[in-house]
Every structure is written in C-alpha cells, then in structure tokens.
Structure 1
Amino acid sequence: MDKQILQYSSNHFFMNHMVSDPPYDVATHIHDFYELFYFVSGDLTYYIEGQAYKLYPNDLIITNSKELHRIVFNSASRYERKYIHFQPEYISSYQTDEYNMLSYIENRKLGNFNRIPAKNVIEDGIFELWNHIDETSQENSPESKIMVKTYFIQMLIAINKVLSKYNQSYISNHKYSQKIVSILDFINKNLSEKITLNILEDRFYVSKYYLCHVFKKNTGFTVMEYVTYKRVMKAIELLISGNPALDVAHTVGFGDYSTFYKAFKKITGFSPNQYFKATK
C-alpha cells in the first residue's frame, strides 16, 4: 500500500515523496525525462543498464532518458523514497555556453556513476538543498515556484561537482561479470541484427540456460527483455528524427511491423505514429 507524503508539480518538473508497505518489484522501464531518486529506507537493489546498486539510506540515484532501470526488493521492509522527474526545458533558461548542467548526467557510459553515496549527498549539500525544495514547494506564496527552481538549480550544480570527482571507488562493489559486460556491449552495437539466445550462446561460448540465469542475476533483466527495450529506445530516436515507422521497425531489428508495434505500444503507451505526433 502506497502512502503519499508530498507531491509537487510545475511545468516540466514533478516531485514526489512516498512510503510503501509492503513494496513490490518495479518492472524494467525508461522515462522520457531525467530522474533523481532519493532513497530514504528499505531493502532493495537498483538495477541500471546491467549495473546493480545496493542502496543505503540517503543514497541518490541518477538516471537519464536513455537508461533502462528497475528495482528489486530484497525483503518486505518498509520502503520510503523521494524522487524528482524533470525535463531539460525546466532549466533551459539557466543553461549557458560555458556551463551545461546536464553534461555529467547525460554524458556518462550507460549504467555507470548512477549512485551518489549518502556521505557525499550529506557533505556536499545535496541533502540540505533537497529539504529546501521540499519545504518551499509547500509554501503558498507568489515566489515559491521561483524559489523551488533556484534551489533545484543549486542542487544540480552540487550534483555535478560530485560527479566531476567520481572514480571507480564510488561504484557499487557488486561483482559484475565481464562476460555480461561484453554481451551488453554486443547487444547495443548490433540492435539492427538478429539477436537470439542461440546466437549469443555460440558467440560467447556459454550455455544459453546459464546465460539466462547469470544475465538476470547481474542485470535484473531477461536477455530478450533488454534487447526489446533497447530496440524501442533506438526506434524512438529514429522516429523523432522523422524516419517512417515501417522503416524504423526494420532498422532496429524487428522482423515484422506487427511485433514492433506491439512492443513499442507496450513500453511507451503510444503507437509509433502517435508517439511521433506527440513529439511535434
């Protein structure tokens, strides 16, 4: 059962604070926005593009609009979280040629440097700024929306400063299979080609049954679930660029348009043509 503690929205910006008891696994998904996920309490592992992050209170998870992610709960512990969804338009008036507030969030290798540990969240002022956003969002004053945005801009700058200092010591100590790294790389570079468990088995000299097990264990996704999501993500890029839906279906590796249509609508909630029109 979910209990909402706080909610706030503005143009291109949405914030929520919720508690769930007991929690349920969150299926693989992507967003067409950026997400800042503030972990308060619970017992979970956050999977992003094959990387597994075991979270601790006050950890912050960052995902951009290209990263597949899901949450798997390790127990039925009470689950509390805060999150912010925002689109680039929300901060566009603050962007300058000299300073891009999204550069570190956007220009990471997918699934890397997504977690800012609690120590940095607190010591680098992110915790305090998030609290300012919470408090200000509930004020009924003419200036509150402006104040929320200015605190948020400051928080993005603080996040960038932490990300700029990142190195491998910040990554979860989850022991990640190098074989899976190679397979993920192969999938992302060959989305237009036929990809099956048999093909992966032959190419990487691993039993497809073992591959299914270790892939799910390491990434939180099934192999074909991952392939389908990545193909749809690539399709979105091509549709936005003006490519016809039928051509896109073949370009991203779907054998027929019907299969592409069903997968696209299941993941995005829109048909390919509806999605294209919605972005115009």
Structure 2
Amino acid sequence: MTTAQFNLTPSLFHFAYYDTLKQSLNDKPHSITTDLPDASWHTHDEIECILYLGNLCHYKIDNQTFTLYKGDVLVIPAHTPHQAIYEEKINHARYVIRLSSELYQQFVLSNPTYTQGLNDLITKAKIYRLNTGDLDYILQEFQCIVPLVSKANDIYPFAIAYHLFQAMIHLVQSSQSNRLPGNYHEDHHFSHIIYYIDHHFRDPNLQLQRITEEFGLSPYYFSKLFRREMNLNFHDYLIQKRANYAANLMRSFPQHSLSLQEVASQSGFGDYSTFYRSFKKTFTQSPKDFMRSLAK
C-alpha cells in the first residue's frame, strides 16, 4: 500500500463517533461526539461500517433484523435501506464510518492477499462479533484516526487510510458467529448478560436469581452492574422487554389471533394480572385499551 494509491478526501470518507448519553468510555479520548443520527429508514451511497460500543441496539436491513451488542461490528452495503431501532435510556455509543465504493476498491487493490475477504465483506449486511483482542485492536486503530480527522481540512493524511485499512483487515480475519465469543467469566463483557436475557426473557421463570447463578455474580453486585450499564434496574428492563414483545404480538393481529391471556403467556408473564400491571406501566394504558387504539 503506497501513498500514491489513496486520495482520501471528505467526499470519499466519513468518520464520526456518537454517544447519546455523552458518557466517556473507559476514559478513552474521543474528540468527535454528537447526538445519534435520525433513526428513520434511509440509505447511503457509501458502504457503512458501525462499531457498536453501547449495550443493545437493533437494525432493520431490508427484511432482516440485526441485534447489536457491545463490541459488534455491522457492515451495511451501499444503497441498502436500513433503520436503527434504539431503546430509550440506554447508551448507544458507536463509531460510524462510511466509505465510497471508489475508496473501498482502492483498499481492495492495495493488497491482493485479502481481495476475496474484502469483497465478501460488502456483499450483504453482516455482523462481526469480535473477541476481546480484535475489539481492542480495532478500537486502537479508530482512536488513532480521531485526532487526524479532527485536524484535517480538504485532504486527509495518508495515516487515516493506513489505520482504517488495518481495522478492515482485522474484520476480514474475524469469523462471523451467531453467538458472542468467549463467556462472561473470561472477558467480563456485560453484553453476554444482555445476550442471555434477550434470548430467555419469554421464559416466565427468568428472574434475577437465575441470572446471578448463571453468571456467578452476587445479587447486589449484579444489580449495581446492571443499573450502571443500562441506566435502569433489571426488573424494569425485563418488564419492558416482555411488554414490548406483547405489544408487537398485538400489532400483528389479525395474522395471529391470540387472546390477551395467550399474549401474556407467550411474552413471558406468569399470569394475566402481572401482564396487566406491567403493560400499563410501560404503555400507560391497559392491554385492552391498547388493542382498541390499534383498531382505530
């Protein structure tokens, strides 16, 4: 890769760091911090790469839904319709990079060894779940880019292309997986806990004690950890997950003609009275009133 191969200008490359809660991440320096972009359906002319550093986020891309946890990288091909779905009061920090197809092809041509991997990277939307080492490496590369972008004017220095290229190669070398790498005991990523909850919340027996036993944590430590990371307590998070799932089931009527009792059961509520109280707490109206509002 030589300097002459890259003419890096703002029209070819976009780099930003977003953090809705304005939180510092492990006291690491970030000089680019703004509110999150619009969450409506949209497309970009460029390839988009998102390094997610928050706790939980969903992306709808064409007809698929992708769930991002801390440390995930989402690659979205150019001209692909997508929409981010954010849960309120949760940190959604992320790096967002958009690359023009012209610049991306310069990357591909600069190193034939990774031609196939780099081309595969942008054929369809993918999530790359990084292990701790790969995540730290890519974060270091991005943190090297931040001050360079901040100081640049019309032409970005070659060093930006170098650091970006190194991060992309790490993505190519990372294997795609449907589960989080490692486990909580090995790397202490809170995302393992959220991943577990999001895949078991419909089980009415999922309670705080089961999770603390699963991850070997004391209830007191887990409660403090959860509130610190998610900005709400575990019980409220679980209620919201179940209530939102129930609401989505009701929105799917009449395709799925379920009784409210069946909705409660399928959403993880042990009984209807608990469902009623939880749903009303989340949506400020009863399940029946919610159903009536959908019919209007």
> TM-score, normalised on structure 1?
0.48
If each structure's strand is expressed as a fraction of its own residues, which one has the higher value? Answer: 1
